[in-house]
């Protein structure tokens, strides 16, 4: 976990959210990156990668998700980038949202239901 945002965030709480969500989703091993960035960097990343010029609360860059991997190949889930300035006190919710994207969820009813269940 890297925090380049300039905002103090409880890193242990973030790790606990990641572990809980992955466990609830049946992912027992894998690697992911979690980076907290400032508003300017978040906006630049969204513009460069999604072609949208706005500041997001969270971005997800999935790699392996739930895909079957050859034996011995470590699972690389991807990266979640959170902008605490944009997410505010709900950075936990933004983290859950980003993790679900790493696991293959797209916006819609199924993701909304999982997100609501995992936020409790």
Q: Which domains does the chain have, with CATH numbers?
A: 2-6+16-115 (3.40.390.30)
Q: Are the beta carbons of 21 and 96 closer than 8 angstroms?
A: yes
Cα(31)–Cα(39) distance, rounded to whole angstroms?
25
Cα(80)–Cα(92) distance, rounded to whole angstroms?
12
**Is it the case that residue 68 has pLDDT exceeding 90?**
no
| Residue length of the chain | 120
Give the three-class secondary structure for 118: helix
Residue-level pLDDT at 86:
96
Residue-level pLDDT at 120:
64
The model's pLDDT over 90-119, given as tens digits with 9 standing for 90+, comes to 899 999 999 999 999 999 999 999 999 998
The model's pLDDT over 15-64, given as tens digits with 9 standing for 90+, comes to 999 999 999 999 988 899 999 999 999 999 999 999 999 999 999 999 98
* pTM tops 0.75: yes
DSSP states along 89-101: GGHHHHHHHHHHH
């Amino acid at each position: 976990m890297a925090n380049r945002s300039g905002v103090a965030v409880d890193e242990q709480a973030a790790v606990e959210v990641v572990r809980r969500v992955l466990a609830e989703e049946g992912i027992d091993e894998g690697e992911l990156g979690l980076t907290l960035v400032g508003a300017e960097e978040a906006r630049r990343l969204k513009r460069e990668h999604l072609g949208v010029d706005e500041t997001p609360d969270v971005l997800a860059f999935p790699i392996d998700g739930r895909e079957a991997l050859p034996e011995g190949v470590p699972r690389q889930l991807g990266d979640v980038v959170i902008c605490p300035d944009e997410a505010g006190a709900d950075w936990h919710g933004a983290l859950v949202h980003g993790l679900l994207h790493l696991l293959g969820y797209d916006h819609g009813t199924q993701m909304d239901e999982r997100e609501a269940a995992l936020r409790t």
